Structure 1
Amino acid sequence: MLKEKAPMFGYITDSYWSDIGDLKTYMNTNFDALDGKIKLYNKFSGNRLNSQISNEAKIDSPVYIGENCTIKNGAVIKPYSIIGNNCTIEEGSTIKRSILWDMVHIGKNNELRGTIICSKSITKNNVDIYENSIVGDESEISSSALIRPNIKIWPQKYVEEGSIINKNLVWGTKGTKSFFGSKDIKGEINIDITPEFCTLLGSAFVNVVKKSRPIILTCDNSNASNTIKNSIISGITSSGSNVFDCGMALLPMNRYAVRTYNAAGGIHIWTDTDNENTVHIELIDQNGSNISRGIEKKIEQLLIRED
């Protein structure tokens, strides 16, 4: 502009100004809003609207809690914390001078200090995340992981259990997440095991086995297992395969039915006896045995591609 001798103008104002160029400035600007230093339209109109906050949770102002949040027993929200819409804070977790975007799930006994957790990210139990760090969208931090200060984790990253992250995680993951454990798929309902995931799983399973033969479905007597079963059935039928829904039954009965009805395979869903929020999904081959590791890998590839 100077070279071209373009005119330059200035404007003097008493209004708030913040040049947000880094994480620290971004956080401080949000904290200034909590202190009332910024004139906002509809300031905090959704604060705590339709949110369920336990009487045994402790909240120290100033904080902002968005709509439809759940804050459970023993959770502590310390000053200068901002929690977006549809977030869940599990028992015993402490949030201090941190910003959570929308649809974040914080597990039990977490310690969050001066961090930013972006939308749809999940931290499992006993996770510690420290100052000036950020976790990108749709990331998952497994139990007992520790994120050091000043660390940036890019979106859609997976941090394995017990990891200590002391450098930025930009490419790949810290450990590869497998959907299958030693013999089944296991996870928390509506966190790891969602209806959308189960629909994809049903579709992936029939695309690996023979579509021309039916799939046997069984589950235990829990509501969670029945809900998951119905989602899996949707995925199977949408892929053009038939289902024999045998209702509530034990796993050995599923194995027997697969062999008796010459089915392509079976799926059995059951709830963990020690934790009603944890669900197991066992996939059975045409012989009534658990599927091989080779079939697991083919199913995982389809799940990752969301085919």
Structure 2
Amino acid sequence: AAADYGTAGSVRNAAELLTDRFIVISGDVLTDFDISAALDFHKQKGAKATILLTRVPNPLQFGIVMTDSEGRITRFLEKPSWGEVFSDTINTGIYILDADVLDLIPYQRDFDFSKDLFPLMLSKNMPLYGYISTGYWRDIGNLNEYQIASMDVLDKKVNITISGEYRNSCIVGRDVVLAPSAVFSGMVVLGNNTTVGNNAKLHNCVVGNNVTIGSSAHLSGVVLWDNVIVGEGASLTDDVICNDTVIGGDSTITENVFIAEGCIIGREATLLPNIKLWPRKQVEAGAILSRSLVQEEKWLRELFTDARITGLSNIEVNPEFAAKLGSAVGNAVGANVRIVASRDADASSRMTHRALMSGLMSVGVSINDLQVTSIPQTRQELRNGKAVAGIHIRRSIRQHDKTDIILFNSDGRDLPSAKAKSIERFFFGEDIRRVPFDKVGSINFPERTNETYISRFKDTLNIDAIAEKHFKMLIDYSFGLASNIFPHILGKFKATVVSMNNYMDAS
């Protein structure tokens, strides 16, 4: 259907094909229920609709169905609290329906089985029954449930037939090549045209077609789709890897990582637990990935280019990234110190600036917030001995859809590479040390920073010599930060000045 008509409304669209009793099964369910037994129950009871039910230990996330001793449904309860739980039988999303029930469903309208149709039948006192099924049932509507269901198949918790030939403790498809020294344990299923290299170890894995697993690779609890390449020495644990993805040699994919199709993971890269990669992402060789990649195209091994970090505004350099970077910087410089922070007038810079300061404060670092201030002023403030480091955030002067984060040493010079490496170790290592609530850093707003900078600037010039020349100047401020400072300096030059674009424009 072109529109979303809900679960029941969508089935109503196929009414001309459903002239007899029919069965509805949710597409995101894995089950081995005996549907024929439920169908016999439906016929025996003379039901118009039968909902297949199952018992679960924790019914809170499902819709509870209550029945009488004959199996007739007496009440529905959608996602109850524990205080409302009077039954552990839930709606499995599998229904047996007589064709005339479709007459209750409005045509091309949003209409749901559990929220609309069944309560309507209950209110009309129609024969609506629940059949409690035994066997395996799992809702695999999210990635974690899909991973669990895959392992349940291997553990034979669900009655399902897997086609293939038994060989070396594996079920293998056609044209599979297994190195003699490869080791398999638990249950391993290998698709057609798959190759497993020497000394590779696989435990409880599902492997698709046209997959290559390199020598000495270790895989445990992994699901690989088709056309995947796993490099030599790679290690994967409890992950799902989709089609056409390349896992570089000696890389480490930790627990519960989900990688979509067409991704490239470089050699010796590390993906930390519980992250997801959207399609066609790239992780650079040796990089440590600690968060999901959604809109970013790639994740680099190093954050810094010299003393600068540059990334797509609000995509690569977003509030979460900035807060984490602030925490990493704070851990690198130590608690109970002060850092100078400044930014340009861009809205993304302001957002990033505030997020980064929250990260600094969380690890006990206090901030001299210069707010909208130029880089030379920030350097000057550091030379006054006011802080151990400085940070300036701006819209990139090279690509306006990117944000630059520039770091300075305590003397106002660009941050040395050794200190940048220290920050990267904290950022990628995930071992950020927070401070107690009463040790959180503070924010200070220094006064007269413009006046101090102007005075120092003038002290470096021979004002009288410049004034004698009576210069004529055309100055384009380009809507930048200099428009705040330079006009005050020019007043002493006795020059004729024509100014253009001499105000700040955040756009």
Query: So what's the TM-score if we normalise by structure 2?
Result: 0.33
User: 3-state SS of the aligned residue for 1:59?
Assistant: strand
Correspondent of 2:270 among 139, 146, 150: 146
What pairs up with 1:1-307 in 2 under 5 angstroms? Answer: 1=116, 4=120, 6=122, 8-41=128-161, 43-45=162-164, 47-49=171-173, 50-78=175-203, 80-175=204-299
Distance in 1 separating the partners of 2:245 and 2:262: 4
- CA drift of 1:175 comes to 4.7
Distance in 2 separating the partners of 1:173 and 1:70: 30
- CA drift of 1:140 comes to 0.5
Structure with higher RCO (Cα < 8 A, 6+ apart): 1
Distance in 2 separating the partners of 1:131 and 1:157: 19
Cα deviations by residue, 1:106-161 (Å, 9 ceiling, x for unpaired) = 01110101111101100111110011111100111011111010000001111111
| Runs of at least 4 residues off by over 3 Å | 2-9
- 1:285 match: none
For 2:270, give the aligned amino acid: L
Query: So what's the TM-score if we normalise by structure 1?
Result: 0.53
Shift in CA distance, 123/15, structure 1 to aligned 2, threshold 3 Å: same
For 2:238, give the aligned amino acid: G
- In percent, how many aligned pairs have the same letter? 30
Shift in CA distance, 3/67, structure 1 to aligned 2, threshold 3 Å: closer
- CA drift of 1:44 comes to 3.2
User: 3-state SS of the aligned residue for 1:24?
Assistant: helix
Distance in 1 separating the partners of 2:290 and 2:163: 35
Q: RMSD of aligned C-alpha atoms? A: 1.8
Shift in CA distance, 175/39, structure 1 to aligned 2, threshold 3 Å: closer
- Preserved contact between residue 289 and residue 299 of structure 2 (Cα < 8 Å): no
Shift in CA distance, 65/158, structure 1 to aligned 2, threshold 3 Å: same
User: 3-state SS of the aligned residue for 2:145?
Assistant: helix
Cα deviations by residue, 1:1-38 (Å, 9 ceiling, x for unpaired) = 27645555422211321011332321221112112222
Distance in 1 separating the partners of 2:253 and 2:155: 24
For 1:167, give the aligned amino acid: R
- What residue ranges of structure 2 are gaps of 5+ in the alignment? 1-115, 166-170, 301-507
For 1:93, give the aligned amino acid: A
Shift in CA distance, 3/48, structure 1 to aligned 2, threshold 3 Å: closer
Shift in CA distance, 14/4, structure 1 to aligned 2, threshold 3 Å: closer
- Preserved contact between residue 48 and residue 68 of structure 1 (Cα < 8 Å): no
Distance in 2 separating the partners of 1:125 and 1:173: 21
Larger mean CA deviation between 32-41 and 105-114 belongs to 32-41
Distance in 2 separating the partners of 1:86 and 1:11: 42
Q: Which has the higher helix share?
A: 2
Distance in 1 separating the partners of 2:206 and 2:180: 19
- Preserved contact between residue 23 and residue 132 of structure 1 (Cα < 8 Å): no
User: 3-state SS of the aligned residue for 2:189?
Assistant: strand
- What residue ranges of structure 1 are gaps of 5+ in the alignment? 177-307
- Preserved contact between residue 71 and residue 90 of structure 1 (Cα < 8 Å): yes
- 1:234 match: none
Cα deviations by residue, 1:60-106 (Å, 9 ceiling, x for unpaired) = 1211111110001111112x211111100011110011111111100
Distance in 2 separating the partners of 1:31 and 1:148: 21
Distance in 2 separating the partners of 1:175 and 1:153: 10
Distance in 2 separating the partners of 1:150 and 1:38: 26
For 1:131, give the aligned amino acid: E
Larger C-alpha radius of gyration, 1 or 2? 2
